Amino acid sequence: MTAAAPVQVQWRALGTYVQLSVSDAAAVAAAEERARGLLAAIDRTCSRFRPDSDLARVNAGAGTWVRADPLLVAATAAAVEAAGHTDGLVHPLLGRVVVGLGYDRTFTDLQPGRASWTRVDPPPLDAWRAIECEDEAIRIPAGTALDLGATAKAWAGDLISTTIAAEDRTNVIVSLGGDVSVATGGRRPTAWPVRIHDDPEAAADTEVAIEDGGLATSSTRLRRWTVAGVDHHHVVDPRTGAPARTCWRTVSATGPSATAANVASTAAVVLGEEAVAWLAARGVAARLVSIEGRVTTTGGWPAEGDGE
């Protein structure tokens, strides 16, 4: 293993922070340019907060075939795959539901204490099966709306890391709001240290090293807002159409990609007490922190203090 090089750039995109590091200092400028270009394209095609996005046009044409950029087609296909792996617990058709909950603009623009909200019944848990994708077109069921918030950031991180590794022949790690993706560029793996924060206002609780694949943390402590005196968070249970009533305040998971890790951590938050058995049955290495602060690990995640 090579030591992680201290070559990092940081900026904001997709409503969150972006951190990018490469093992070859000479590649950082090109890597940042590629990452910024991909993020701009993803925002233009996949954002539900832009009325000119391809996703907005697909939602407006629900029930019909709508031409869409291949980027949105790929992101939607990844979201459908995530729904398949979780039996719909990570659901791509909750757009109308989250808007009804008051999350109708970017989180930085979301005003605290909105006056009212509208109860929207969630689509059937298996409604994602009716999503159809072609090379440059998508059809979603009538009466539904795409929301790729559960998978898009992690998927974007994977796209960025693999593109940079292939094009610039450098090891790379990218974090989009805590969804971490790592790829190697034909070099010996880099052991990238990743700090995990249970409380975003406090020091990191633990640190792990990853050489490839992904790591993601889903939290009910971030992206919270109040509507008519009711506190909401952004992890929605598709079975109820409401923010998940869960026993976990954070779940961190690793996987072969950031997308896989994020799918596992999100499903675990939704599952609540059933999450430990669900993760263990799938061999997912995860760290779950209860509302009271109790730590539970699965799938070979190092115990607290074991080299973290």
Q: What is the pLDDT of residues 84-124, one digit of tens each?
A: 999 999 999 999 998 888 766 555 555 555 545 677 899 99
Distance CA 161, CA 3 (A): 18
Handedness of CA 245, 84, 46, 260 (dihedral sign): positive
pLDDT band at 7 (very low <50, low <70, confident <90, very high): confident
Between 197 and 50, the higher pLDDT residue: 50
| 3-class SS of residue 251 | strand
Q: Indicate the DSSP class of residue 94.
A: -
Q: What is the pLDDT of residue 235?
A: 86
Q: What is the pLDDT of residues 141-192, one digit of tens each?
A: 999 999 998 999 999 999 999 999 999 999 999 999 989 999 998 888 889 9
Mean pLDDT of the chain: 88
Residue 308 pLDDT > 50: no
Distance CA 89, CA 263 (A): 9
pLDDT band at 228 (very low <50, low <70, confident <90, very high): low
**Both tokens of residue 50?**
């832009």
**Both tokens of residue 299?**
């799938």
Tallying the residues shown for the chain, one arrives at 308
Angle between helices 28-46 and 70-85 (to 10 degrees): 80
Q: What is the pLDDT of residue 185?
A: 87
Rounded to an integer, the average pLDDT of 250-261 is 96
Q: Are 38 and 46 in contact (CB under 8 A)?
A: no
Distance CA 91, CA 224 (A): 20
Q: What is the pLDDT of residue 107?
A: 57
Q: What contacts 24+ positions apart, CB below 8 Å, involve 34-40?
A: 34/160, 34/163, 34/164, 34/167, 34/168, 35/160, 35/164, 35/174, 36/11, 38/156, 38/159, 38/160, 38/163, 39/13, 39/14, 39/156, 39/160, 40/13
